[in-house]
Amino acid sequence: MSPKIFPVILSGGAGSRLWPLSRESFPKQFLPLAGERTMLQETALRVADPRRFEPVTVVANAEHRFVIAEQLREAGARRPTIVLEPCARNTAAAVGAAALLAAEQDDEAMILVMPADHTIPEAEPFLAAVDTGLGAAAAGALVLFGIIPDSPATGFGYIRAGAPLGGMARKVDAFVEKPDQATAEAYLASGDYFWNSGIFLLPARAFLAELEAHAPAVLAAARAAVGRATRDMDFLRLDPDAFAASPSISIDYAVMERTTRAAVVPTEFVWSDVGAWSALWALGPRDGNENVQIGDTLAENTTGSYLRSEGPLIATVGVRDLIVIATQDAVLVADRHADQDVKRVVERLKASNHVAAAQTRRVYRPWGWYEGIHTGERFQVKRITVKPGEKLSLQKHFHRAEHWVVVNGTAEVHVNGEQRLLSENESVYIPLGATHRLSNPGKVPLNLIEVQSGPYLGEDDIVRFEDVYART
C-alpha cells in the first residue's frame, strides 16, 4: 500500500521582482500571471486527486488568510488546512510545522512541499516525477526534484548529483549557488547538474529526525508552536511566541545541505519559478515580433518586449527588449535583461516609506475589496465591492462621516439600530460617530461608491463592535 502523501504549499513569498503587480499585501502567488487561475490555485489543483493525495495544507502569512481561503474555495480544494505563521521565519520552521501535523495523522506520512508561486504548465509529468520519487522517499531519502537544464541559466541554484540510489534517484553531492555564465555552461555540458526546483518529497518522520539533528532549535520552536496552536474559524494559528523563537533559516541551509539522506530525482517537466518579468515573457504567447501583450497595449515597431497593462493604455514605438508594466498607481519600464534588479526599486520605495512598495490600490478584505478612486482635502472617494452573503463589521468612526451610493446589487444597511435595504442608485448617509454595518443579502456582488469626509480619513479610525471574521 502506497504511503499517504500530504501536499504542503508554502505561500510566504513577496515576489518583489514582479513589482508593481506583485506586492507584499498581494504577492504573485495570488495573481493569474501565467493563465486564468492564480498560481496558488494552479498549485493546489495539481495535487487535487484524492486517489494520490490527502487534502492540501497551506502555510502562509496570517495577513493573507482570507485571500487564500477564498481562492482555495474557488478552486474547489477539499477541506484545506490553512496554517498561519505569526511572523516570517523562512521555510525550515514552516516545513517542520507541516511535517509535525502530517505525522500526527499518519506515522508513515509523506509530505510533498511546493512553493505557491511556481508554474508547471502540465500536471502529468509532474505527477509522474512524484511517483518516481516515492521509492527513494519510502526508503528514507529526503527527495528533491531537479530540473534537467536546457540552457546555461545563471538565475537558478544547482544540485550536483552523485551515485545512483536506485531508479532515477541519485545521491546529492553538493548544492551550488547561482553560477556565472561560464560555470553554468560547464554544468550544462557535464550532465550531472540540475536546477534546484525547491520542491521536496519528504518522509515526515525522517525529515523531523534530520531537523532535530541539524537544526534542533527550529524543531523545538515548531513543535511548541504546533502544540500551542489555536483554531480560528477555518485557520490554524501557530503560537506566536513559540514560532518567533525559531531561527530564520531555509530548509536548504537547515537540513538539505547538511544531511546525508538527500537525494535528487532528475525531472523533465516544464517548470519556472517565475522569478522575474523575463520569465513571464518566456512563458507567454509571443507574436511575430517576439512581443507578449496583455491588457490595453499597442506596440509599434517594437520587438522582444513584455507589455502588460492592468489600467491605462501602454503604447510603445521603436523599442526592443523592454518590460513595461502599468497598474492603476505605478508604471515600471525595465530592460528585459536587467529585470532581476526590479527588487532594488522596491527596496528604495520601502526606504522612503512609499505606499506603493507594499500596498496595491485595491485592498482585499474577507468580505470583498475596496479601491481608492480620488483623494482631496478632507475627503476621499472609494469603490467598495461586497461578495454575496458577506458583511462588514458593526463599527463606528470618530473623525469621518460616510455617504454610500449603490451602483448595482442590493445593500442591507444598519445605522444606529435602524435597518433599510438599498437598490441601484439609492443612497444613505452615515453621520460621524454613528454605529453602522453594510451587508450584501443578494446573490450577486454589491458595488457601491463611498464618499468619506472629515478631518482624518485613515483606516485606523475604526471601532469594531461585532465582526464575523474575528478581527479587532
157 contacts 195 by C-beta, under 8 angstroms: yes
Express each pLDDT in 388-421 by its tens digit: 999 999 999 999 999 999 999 999 999 999 999 9
Give the distance from CA 282 to its chain's centroid: 21
Residue 17 clears pLDDT 80, i.e. is over it:
yes
Residue 370 bridge partners (DSSP):
363, 384
Note the pLDDT tens digit of each residue in 337-391: 999 899 999 999 999 999 899 888 888 888 999 999 999 999 999 999 999 999 9
Q: For residue 241, what is the DSSP state?
A: H
Q: How many residues does the chain have?
A: 472
What is the per-residue pLDDT for 472?
Answer: 63
For residue 292, the one-letter residue type is V
Of all residues in the chain, the percent with pLDDT exceeding 90 is 84
pLDDT at 34: 86
Cα–Cα separations (whole angstroms), residue 199 to 84, 117, 182, 339, 467:
21, 11, 26, 24, 38
CB 37 within 8 A of CB 75: yes
Write the pLDDT tens digit of every residue in 234-287. Answer: 899 999 999 999 999 999 999 999 999 999 999 988 999 998 999 999 999 999
For CA atoms 181, 182, 187, 189, the dihedral sign is positive
* For residue 1, pLDDT beyond 70: no
Q: 525550515: which residue's cell?
A: 92
pLDDT at 297: 98
All structural domains of the chain, each given as residue ranges with its CATH number in brackets, are 5-267 (3.90.550.10), 277-350 (no CATH), 362-466 (2.60.120.10)
Bridge-based pairing state of the strands 5-11 and 57-61: parallel
**CA 285 → CA 39, 139, 280, 281, 305, distances in Å?**
18, 42, 9, 8, 12
Give the pLDDT confidence of 207-219 residue by residue, as tens digits.
Answer: 999 999 999 999 9
Torsion of CA 15, 19, 23, 27, to 10 degrees: -40
Please state, in angstroms and rounded to a whole number, the distance separating the CA atoms of residues 363 and 328.
13
| Cβ atoms 465, 413 nearer than 8 A | no
Of the pLDDT bands very low, low, confident and very high (cuts 50, 70, 90), residue 233 is: confident
Q: Are strands 401-408 and 314-317 parallel, antiparallel or unpaired?
A: unpaired
Burial class (CB in 10 A: 0-12, 13-18, 19+), 217: middle
* 18 Cβ contact partners less than 8 Å away, ≥ 6 residues apart: 28, 33, 274, 276, 277, 280, 342
Pairing outcome for strands 158-166 and 297-300 = unpaired
d(CA 184, CA 180) in angstroms, rounded, equals: 6
| Segment 45-57 mean pLDDT | 95
Spatial distance between the Cα atoms of 440 and 70, rounded to a whole number of angstroms: 17
> Cell for 309?
497593462
Quick one: average pLDDT of 449-454?
A: 97
Query: To the nearest 10°, the Cα dihedral for 173, 178, 179, 185?
Result: 80
Q: Which bin fits 171, alpha (ψ -120 to 50), beta or left (φ > 0)?
A: beta
Check pLDDT > 80 for residue 2.
no
Question: How does DSSP classify residue 225?
Answer: H
Q: How many Å apart are CA 260 and CA 172, to the nearest integer?
A: 8
Give the rounded percent of residues in the chain with a pLDDT score beyond 70: 99
Instruction: Give the DSSP H/E element, type plus range, for residue 93.
Output: helix 90-105
The per-residue pLDDT of the chain, averaged, comes to: 94
Joined together, the cell numbers standing for residue 381 give 472617494
Cα–Cα distance, 462 to 472 (Å, whole number): 10
**Cell 494559528 identifies what position?**
237
Total Cβ atoms within 10 A of residue 179: 19
What does the angle CA 322 – CA 363 – CA 399 come to, to the nearest 5 degrees? 135
- pLDDT band (50, 70, 90) for residue 153: confident
| φ, ψ of residue 345 in degrees (nearest 5) | -60, -45
